[in-house]
Structure formats: structure tokens, C-alpha cells
């Protein structure tokens, strides 16, 4: 699970840093790729970490949905839910310079991660 955890951390911060032109929606028969996980901020740093995660997400190429939510019971926890056009779109985002810069900015604010879980989204409101 270490690879998935690394992918989730990198992917979550990746989306935060990258602003660009959104790609056209995936074909209806393409397999979407999803990630869900909980990130723990250092005490008192949840807001700052959320800002980094949310910066630039609206135009992320290949990203269909990226949601950062505050945990209702833990003042330092964030839940991140991502939907990508494909696993490859997610992987491609991890190599961009802006993504690497966001990871560097976020890393000192992250206290830990639960194991992320990959999913295969099949649809829902807002997904094409």
C-alpha cells in the first residue's frame, strides 16, 4: 500500500498546484480513475494545507472532480476525493514542475496520511 499512499499524497498536492487548460471530457467508455483518502495536517495547519490543495484545481487537465473537505470530528483532518479521466491523466500530473512545487510547499504541513483507496468511478452528479 506504500505506492498507493505515495500516489495519493502526490496526487492530492499535485492537483492543488497545477492550473492550466482543462482537457476535453473522457469518452463515455473510458475508465475513470478515483482516489479517496484522509490527510492529517500538523496541529493548527489544516486551513493552510487546504489552501495549498485547492489552489489551481479548477482547470486541472484530466481532473474531473477534486474535493477537499474538513473532517467534522478531527480539527486537523482533511478528506480528499479525486476523479480523473484515467489513471494515466493522474500519473501525468505528478511529473509537472508546478505539482512538484506544491508538494514541496505542502509537505511541512502534513502530519500523516491514512492509506488512500483507488476507485473506478462509474458516474454521478457532475461527472460525464
Asked whether 110 and 116 are in contact (CB, 8 A), the reply is no
**Which pTM was predicted?**
0.75
Stronger pLDDT, 56 or 120, i.e. the higher one = 120
Strand partners, 113: 39
CATH code of the domain made up of 2-119 = 3.30.70.100
Q: Distance between alpha carbon 126 and the CA centroid of its chain, in Å?
A: 17
Binned at pLDDT 50, 70 and 90, residue 35 comes out as very high
pLDDT the model gives residue 25? 47
Judged by DSSP in three states, 40 sits in strand
Residues 82 and 127: beta-carbon distance below 8 Å? no
Does the pLDDT of residue 42 top 90, yes or no? Answer: yes
Amino acid at each position: 500500500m506504500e505506492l498507493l499512499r505515495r500516489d495519493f499524497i502526490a496526487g492530492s498536492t499535485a492537483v492543488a498546484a497545477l492550473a492550466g487548460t482543462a482537457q476535453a471530457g473522457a469518452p463515455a467508455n473510458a475508465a475513470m480513475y478515483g482516489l479517496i483518502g484522509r490527510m492529517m495536517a500538523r496541529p493548527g495547519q489544516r486551513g493552510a494545507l487546504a489552501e495549498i490543495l485547492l489552489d489551481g484545481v479548477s482547470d486541472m487537465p484530466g481532473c474531473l472532480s477534486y474535493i477537499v473537505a474538513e473532517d467534522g470530528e478531527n480539527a486537523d483532518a482533511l478528506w480528499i476525493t479525486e476523479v480523473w479521466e484515467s489513471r494515466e491523466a493522474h500519473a501525468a500530473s505528478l511529473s509537472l514542475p508546478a505539482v512538484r512545487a506544491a508538494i514541496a510547499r505542502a509537505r511541512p504541513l502534513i502530519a500523516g496520511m491514512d492509506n488512500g483507496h483507488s476507485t473506478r468511478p462509474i458516474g454521478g452528479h457532475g461527472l460525464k
